[in-house]
Amino acid sequence: MNKQLKVLFIGTYVPKECGIATFTFDLLNSVSGVHDDIHCEVIALNDPSETYNYPEEVVFQIERNKLEDYHRAADFINQSDADIVCLQHEFGLFWGNAGDYIFTLLSGINKPVITTMHTVIREPEPEYRASTEKLIRYSEKLVVMSQTAVDMLKDVYKVPDEKIEVIFHGLPDYPFNNCSKYKRMLNLKGSPLILTFGLLSQNKGIESMLEALPEVVSQYPDLIYLVLGATHPVVKKHNGEAYRDYLMKRVSELGLENNVVFHDKFVEKEELCTYILASDIYASPYLSREQIVSGALTYAIGMGKAIISTPYWYAQEMLSDSRGILVDFGDTDGFKNSLLYLIENPDECNNMRKKAYDFGRKMTWKNIGKEYNTVFTKALKNYNTYPRIQNRFNFLPNQLPEVKLDYLKLLTDDVGIIQHTNLGVPARHHGYSTDDVGRGLVALTQIIDSQEKAEELWKLITTYMSFLEHAQTDSGHFHNFMNYRREFLDKEGSEDTLGRAIYGLGHVVSCPYMSKNIRTFAHTLISKSKMQMEKLNYPRAKAYTMCGLYEMLRAGVGADDFESTFISRRDTVRSIDALVDKDTFQSIFISHADSLVDLYETNHKEGWNWFEPTVTYSNAKLSESLILAYNYTKNRTYRKVGLATLDFLTDIQWKGDFFDIVGNQGWYSCDGEKPIFDQQPIEAGYMTQAYVSAYETVRERKYLELARYSFEYFLGRNRLRTPMYDSSTGAVCDGLNCDGMNCNQGAESVICYLMALNSINKHSDRAYGTQFKPAIEEVLPKRKSLLSANQVE
């Protein structure tokens, strides 16, 4: 190969005491030993709260019950320079229904996957069939360790021949020897010494051997039966040592205390091999036929042991041609007679050992590594990355959905918008909020493009305006939360509440199709909030306020525009002093813009182009407010900061074909790790608006492309590839969680969806027309060039 091949293994790994951990370790070393230009690393699976001092090749760890870890592992793989992924699959390794957590990882990566199947089920339950069929789809190649497994994949799961590779379980390469020197090394007695090893569990069938021993021991009193291995950790967790205690009790009942030894220990590989080499006979009395592979049996074959086994699938195949003796499940007499035969016929026993040893030469780890490397090379040659990435979101529509207000109307009564729902049913006990009403006005006024549309939405808009008028306090601030009994629950809302109210009212003032009375009324409420706007401290409150004032200022609205109306309606206006001239609004607008720039200058640094040390909520609204400030003032500093911070949000959230929004489970600090969940749709809505504003300002095509992709987050262009928008009702799910969608569908979600849809609708011909040619690779430059291009002077 012309370049170093980099293989990333996924499985349990040493020092974890587990058969697959040992297998993964041996496989990695056999593959990396084939050529000097092969580099291997590991993603290790851990049980909950389990920690290990892993060797340096372990580069990532998954706590197997944490779905978020599988998402992060997928991200790690995509960002790594690994060429190929080699997955060790056993249903019990992974959490979920039939181990389906692993598909969170497999569905999110763009590398070829070679899967070693440690279990294949002939008659699967529905969930295991579904899991196996998914595994087959996500795997470029399936490696199995027996012809029996091949036949099952073809007959039961209809897997084509070209997708299946047979590579035996590997084993260490030891010379063919007698047992005496190894017995001396371990200070073992026993003539003969019979061995069964592996993690202890009921399916081992040890009791079958115990029942067979009394008659054999009566003839050969020096016989020792050594049961080597700790109890399986899962068995021990749920049942303690019940099985071991049962076996020891049975030993006592059968009078075998001098002939049966339990070595309760997980032995390392070198010590294990010494035990095998010291034994005369290996017994494998498993109780289940559905055993498709056994590392223990493989080692015994490769080290030239005389073997007695039950006829499970793997044993039937490996011990054919007189390489061992098969005894029916639970057949005590069969085990007894087989033991006596091997003890009393040493020449036949030795021939059997030699046949097993010779067969095992093809299974040495050196040869297994070469075979895996051949499979990796074939898979890489046939794998085409591009179609897989492109097809991840092939379910998305090729045009924008129509504006649908059914669900917003469902949530609106004669008071306002009910905040939350239970599975789409309005939850009245949660009441109403000014936050939702303010943003609702933005969504509605954006839709109005004619006098007829204004008349259609007049009832909704006047209801929302009435709510805000009632929510406004004497000081000009706003209450936020109202219960269903129409009682406000706070003295006043947060600064963000004030900003969101001004945001909505500003859109009403600037809407040319609204009646002058309604626009005047909105202006009155804004004017009354002048002093509150001037003393805002929080950046998002300032950004919301700026977005509202921008609408009013760009429409050229000041006190003079409405003076005659106010004079004729003095009886309904509480104070003519509430009227504020245009210069005052400009002053507030520019002051807030300057403060955001100052905040950016204080906190941004290399690799962190943001206003604060943490990216939290409503993020794109901060960037958009400065882009709008540039549009109004033509101050280029506002544009530079607005675009730099918007590009930074893109940089940390765009995954190449979807947006992975900063979750609110801890937010994202400059010195921390970005949380994946709980993702909120409001962020996608605000990003869409900000990208549209950026496109309208600088006319760079990438912003329109990004606006389309961020809007499509609602339609399924997200980490889970699941639509949040329900086209039949117009509802939007409330969040993206590690285990799926938050099925509640509140007011905030649908309002932010509508705002995003309205924004991109203005450019639907370019965003979804025939001239739209997505260039994902060109949408976002690399971080270094992005930061340097947008760095504020």
Q: What is the DSSP string of 24-56?
A: HHHHHHHHHTT-TTEEEEEEEEE-TT------T
Contact by Cβ (8 Å): 500, 440? no
Q: Are 719 and 108 in contact, with CB atoms under 8 Å apart?
A: yes
Rounded to 5°, angle at Cα 238 from 228 and 232: 20
Number of domains in the chain: 4
Output the pLDDT for position 391: 64
Domain boundary among the residues 362, 393, 422 is at 362
Angstrom distance (rounded) from CA 249 to CA 2: 62
Q: Which residue bears the tokens 């049961």? A: 227
Q: Is the pLDDT of residue 568 over 50?
A: no
The pLDDT, as a whole number, for residue 581 is 65
Amino acid making up residue 475: S
Tell me: pLDDT of 442 over 50: yes
Determine phi and psi for 280, rounding to 5 degrees: -95, -40
How far is residue 690's CA from residue 683's CA, in Å, rounded to a whole number? 10
Residue 390 lies in a domain: no
Report the SS3 class of residue 521: helix
Maximum Cα–Cα distance across the chain: 120
Q: Which two tokens stand for residue 261?
A: 């030894």
Instruction: Label each residue of 61-85 as H, E or C.
Output: EEECCCHHHHHHHHHHHHHCCCCEE
Q: Which residues contact 22 (CB under 8 A, 6 or more apart)?
A: 14, 269, 295
The answer on 429 and 558 residing in a single domain is yes
Distance CA 79, CA 656 (A): 11
Per-residue model confidence (pLDDT) at position 565: 42
Report, as an integer, the average pLDDT of 706-727.
94
* Whether residue 120 is found in the same domain as residue 187: no
Strands 84-89 vs 113-117: parallel, antiparallel or unpaired: parallel
Report d(CA 305, CA 303) in Å as an integer: 6
Say how far apart CA 69 and CA 43 lie, in whole Å.
Answer: 11
Rounded to an integer, what distance in angstroms lies between the CA atom of residue 135 and that of residue 225? Answer: 40
Let me know if residue 650 belongs to a domain.
yes
Does some domain include residue 660? yes
pLDDT at position 543, please?
98
CATH of the domain at 153: 3.40.50.2000
Using an 8 Å Cβ cutoff, are 714 and 732 in contact? yes
* Domain termination site, one of 362, 392, 422: 362
Q: Is the link from the previous residue into 280 a cis peptide, with omega within 30 of 0?
A: no
Q: How far apart are CA 287 and CA 276, in angstroms?
A: 22
Q: Quick: pLDDT tens for 15-72.
A: 998 889 999 999 999 999 887 789 999 999 999 888 899 999 999 999 999 998 999 9
Average of per-residue pLDDT across 295-309: 94
Decide if 735 is inside a domain: yes
Q: How many CB atoms lie within 10 A of CB 51?
A: 9
Q: pLDDT-based confidence at 743, cuts 50/70/90?
A: confident
H helices present in 472-515, as ranges = 495-510
Structure tokens, 303: 């080290």
Identify whether 404 is part of a domain: no
- Read off the pLDDT of residues 466-478 as tens digits, 9 standing for 90 and up: 999 999 999 999 9
| Domain presence at residue 297 | yes
Distance from the Cα of residue 731 to its chain's centroid: 25
Phi, psi of 755 (to 5 degrees): -60, -40
Report d(CA 782, CA 650) in Å as an integer. 11
Surface-to-core class of residue 189, CB atoms within 10 Å of its CB (0-12 exposed, 13-18 middle, 19+ buried)? exposed
Distance CA 301, CA 314 (A): 12
pLDDT of residue 555: 84
- Average the pLDDT over each of 337-341, 566-570, 594-598 and give the range with the smallest value: 566-570
Containing 488, the helix (H) or strand (E) segment is none
CA distance 35 to 243: 45
pLDDT above 60: residue 661: yes
Rounded distance between C-alpha atoms, residue 204 and residue 466, angstroms: 75
Buried/exposed code over 230-269 (b: 16+ C-beta within 10 A; e: otherwise): bbbeebbeeeeeebbeebbeebeeeebeebbbbeeebbee
The residues near 510 (Cβ < 8 Å, ≥ 6 apart) are 445, 551, 552, 554, 555, 557
**pLDDT tens readout for residues 158-200:** 999 999 999 999 999 998 887 888 998 888 888 899 999 988 9
Structure tokens at 84: 């190929």
Instruction: Tell me, yes or no, whether 438 and 568 share the same domain.
Output: yes
Q: Which residue has the higher pLDDT, 311 or 666?
A: 311
pLDDT higher than 50, residue 782: no
Q: Check whether residue 326 and residue 373 sit in a common domain.
A: no
Decide: 158 and 132 in contact? Cβ < 8 Å: no
Please say whether the beta carbons of 596 and 611 come within 8 A.
yes
How many whole angstroms from its chain centre is CA 305? 46
Neighbours of 605 (CB within 10 A): 10
Q: Residue 174's closest CA among 357, 372, 370?
A: 357
Model confidence pLDDT, tens digit, residues 367-417:
999 999 999 998 988 885 444 545 678 889 889 999 999 999 999 999 999
Q: Write out pLDDT tens, residues 484-519.
A: 999 999 999 999 999 999 999 999 999 999 999 999
Task: Based on the fold, state whether residues 627 and 743 are members of the same structural domain.
Answer: yes
Given pLDDT bands bounded at 50, 70 and 90, which one contains residue 11? very high
Residue written as tokens 């590779």? 165
Beta bridge partners of 614: 669
- Dihedral, 687, 500, 595, 780 alpha carbons, nearest 10: 0
Higher pLDDT, 289 or 156: 156
Bigger pLDDT: 216 vs 570:
216
User: Cα–Cα distance between 166 and 620 in angstroms, integer?
Assistant: 53
Count of CB atoms situated within 10 Å of the CB of 221: 10
Q: At what angle do helices 295-302 and 19-32 cross, to 10 degrees?
A: 50
Residue 423: count other Cβ atoms within 10 Å of its Cβ: 9
CA distance 419 to 430: 6
522-553 pLDDT, tens digit each? 999 999 999 999 999 999 999 999 999 999 99
Say how far apart CA 144 and CA 148 lie, in whole Å: 9
375 and 425 in a common domain: no
Model confidence at 792, pLDDT cuts 50, 70, 90, reads very low
Same domain, 113 and 218: no
Give the end of a domain, one of 524, 548, 580. 580
Same-domain status, 140 and 250: no
Residue 703 domain boundaries: 604-793
Written as six digits, the tokens of 667 are 């937010």
In a domain, 587, yes or no: no
- Residue of higher predicted confidence among 385 and 250: 250
Give me 544's structure tokens: 């919301």
Residues 423 and 323 reside in one and the same domain: no
Per DSSP, helices labelled H in 383-433 are 385-390, 406-411
Strands 113-117 and 193-197: unpaired
Q: Are strands 84-89 and 58-63 parallel, antiparallel or unpaired?
A: unpaired
Kind and range of the H or E element at 257? none
User: What are the Cα distances from residue 499, in Å, to 300, 611, 619, 753?
Assistant: 74, 18, 14, 19
pLDDT of residue 36: 78
In this structure, the answer to whether residues 520 and 557 fall within a common structural domain is yes
Q: Is residue 744 located within the same domain as residue 665?
A: yes
Residue 791: CATH number of its domain: 1.50.10.20
In a domain, 590, yes or no: no
Phi, psi values for residue 253, rounded to 5°: -65, -35
Inter-residue contact 200 to 232 (CB < 8 Å): yes
The whole-chain average pLDDT of the chain stands at 90
Q: Are 504 and 464 in contact (CB under 8 A)?
A: yes
Q: For the segment 594-617, what is each residue's pLDDT rounded down to a tens digit?
A: 999 999 999 999 999 999 999 999
- Strand residue runs (E) in 378-500: 421-422, 425-426, 432-433, 481-482
Residues 566 and 620 in one domain: no
What pLDDT is stored for residue 606 in this prediction?
93
